[in-house]
Amino acid sequence: MAFLHRSLPRRTLLKGIGTTMALPFLDAMLPPLRAATTRPHRFQAFYTPNGMAMEYWTPKGEGAAFELAPIMEPLAAYKDKMLVLSGIKASWNYIHAGASGSFLTGTPRGGHNEIEIIADVSIDQLLGRHYAKDTQLASLEVSMDLPANAGACTGNLSCAYLDTLSWANPTQPLPMEWNPRVVFETLFGDSGSTDRTARERRLRQEASILDSVTGELADLTRELGPSDRTKVNEYTDAVRDVERRIQMAEKQSSIELPALGQPLGAPPVFEDHLALMMDLQVLAFQSDLTRVISFMISKEQSPRPYPQIGVPDAHHPLSHHNNIPELVARMSKINTYHAKLFSQYLDRLRKTPDGDGSLLDNITILYGAGISNSNAHSGDNLPLMLVGGHAGRIKGGRHLKFDNKPSSANLLLTIMDKMDYPVEKVGGSTGKLPIDTLSEI
């Protein structure tokens, strides 16, 4: 059978006796060599701090017949892409440290003082390593807040637990970048803009520098002893990784991106800062620079007020509302506002083409918080949902309620499975979460 070397027009018609029939969409209508290409399945964490006003979060009904609660109303357009999960318990529940510290790690334990830093490798880093051969950046970690100074920030534990979701290993938390200029340079270098010409010029400069380094290394290695050669070989491996990333960048440099100039820094207005960070994350996915991003819209214990929505109170103190209805309602306004900002990010993903669909079609986003009722720092019934098209791997438009209080680590194990990178264990996981069936409904 001969295969087409050109693509069929999408409006190809079959003409017969007395009839004209349009063909359904066929693989042959894709551009050459595209038919067999699988679009990458991307992962993102979108973290909201200081718990949730649970009365305003929890949906009514279960299965496909659920009704959106007030906090979720801004996401109504994406209900069919939401898998809301109730009844999941935090794997490590120790005030604010355990909230963000276990969100992606599933660790059942942490440190005991400000200098003992213990968690577990986070799933974004596991996935990043898995995709590293195909992307320039294994993962991207971003936040809206400056990191805290060294010392204790929560319950006499290290500030590291509040400042990040991402852990390279059990004792190495990864910094999350808040400055959009630094994020831009991480993605596109000091090129001034996303313009293709500027990107190609930067690649030529990097390749030229690398050529000279490689030559000098070869000359140097011949004059070294065994021990030094081992050290140089380790360095050479790092150089080869840079070469690989440059080669990957050269392949991707032809991708046309929206015009975005190199930011000068973080805008003073929260919404402007957030819009810029969201644009950069969409660009990172669109250009396939990375397939894994972890994002904190604010960190735990954030005192940020929201006077623009009628809540001048500092967020963290308000979260300790003593279950006073008026204060809980005010807290829900912040939660709803975060959901509205998240919906704007989903809009960007939905409008960005990815193959014959959109970025939203091929992404799984873990949205939510590491605390439920913030007044008691509760780790029961975490406010969590999976959002996106999930590359067809997860069915949306459902609310699943678990009565046996499974660990959040089990959810992380399931996410790894749905990302087609199954692992035996994540943190303190004891098994996968059954999200494919509507059991006990």
pLDDT tens-place string over residues 146-188: 987 667 788 899 999 999 999 999 999 999 999 988 888 888 7
- Confidence band, pLDDT 50/70/90 cuts, at residue 3: very low
- Confidence band, pLDDT 50/70/90 cuts, at residue 235: low
Among 87-101, 135-149, 413-427, which is the least confidently predicted range?
Answer: 135-149
Q: Can you tell me the distance from the alpha carbon of 105 to that of 316, in angstroms, rounded to the nearest whole number?
A: 23
Which pLDDT value is given to residue 244? 55
Given a cut of 70, is residue 353 above it in pLDDT?
Answer: yes
Q: Tokens 């300790």 — which residue?
A: 320
Q: Can you tell me the distance from the alpha carbon of 381 to that of 87, in angstroms, rounded to the nearest whole number?
A: 4
**Exposed/middle/buried for 57, CB within 10 Å: 0-12, 13-18, 19+?**
buried
Q: Retrieve residue 342's tokens.
A: 């998240």
Across all residues in the chain, what is the average pLDDT?
A: 84
CATH number given to 42-186+264-418: 3.40.720
Which pLDDT value is given to residue 5? 43
Q: Can you tell me the distance from the alpha carbon of 414 to that of 423, in angstroms, rounded to the nearest whole number?
A: 9
Express each pLDDT in 113-131 by its tens digit.
999 999 999 999 999 999 9
- Residue 346 to residues 70, 124, 219: CA-CA distances in angstroms? 18, 20, 52
Q: Retrieve residue 22's tokens.
A: 């349009």
Among 144-148, 239-243, 386-390, 430-434, which is the least confidently predicted range?
Answer: 239-243
Given a cut of 90, is residue 355 above it in pLDDT?
Answer: no
Q: Which residues of 228-254 are buried (b: 16+ CB within 10 A; e: fewer)?
A: eeeebeeebeeeeebeebbebbeebee
More confident residue, 218 or 176: 176
**Radius of gyration for the alpha carbons in the chain, expressed in angstroms and rounded:** 24
Query: So where are the chain's domains?
Result: 42-186+264-418, 195-256
Given a cut of 80, is residue 224 above it in pLDDT?
Answer: no
Express each pLDDT in 256-265 by its tens digit.
666 666 777 7
Given a cut of 60, is residue 68 above it in pLDDT?
Answer: yes
- Axis-axis angle for helices 95-103, 408-418 (nearest 10): 20
- The pTM of the full predicted model, rounded to 2 decimals, is 0.80
Which pLDDT value is given to residue 428? 97
Whether 195 contacts 189, CB under 8 Å: no
- Confidence band, pLDDT 50/70/90 cuts, at residue 359: very high
Given a cut of 60, is residue 34 above it in pLDDT?
Answer: no
Contacts of 433 (CB under 8 A, 6+ apart): 85, 88, 402, 406, 410, 411, 413, 414
Which pLDDT value is given to residue 21? 36
- Confidence band, pLDDT 50/70/90 cuts, at residue 192: low
Strands 398-401 and 82-86: parallel
C-alpha closest to that of 348 among 282, 295, 436, 255: 282
DSSP 112-154: SSSS-------HHHHHHHHHTTTSS-S-EEEESSPPPPSSEEE
The share of the chain scoring above pLDDT 90, in percent, equals: 65
Which pLDDT value is given to residue 262? 75
C-alpha closest to that of 250 among 204, 181, 191, 193: 204
Mean pLDDT across 374-385: 96
Express each pLDDT in 305-345 by its tens digit.
999 999 999 999 999 999 999 999 999 999 999 999 999 99
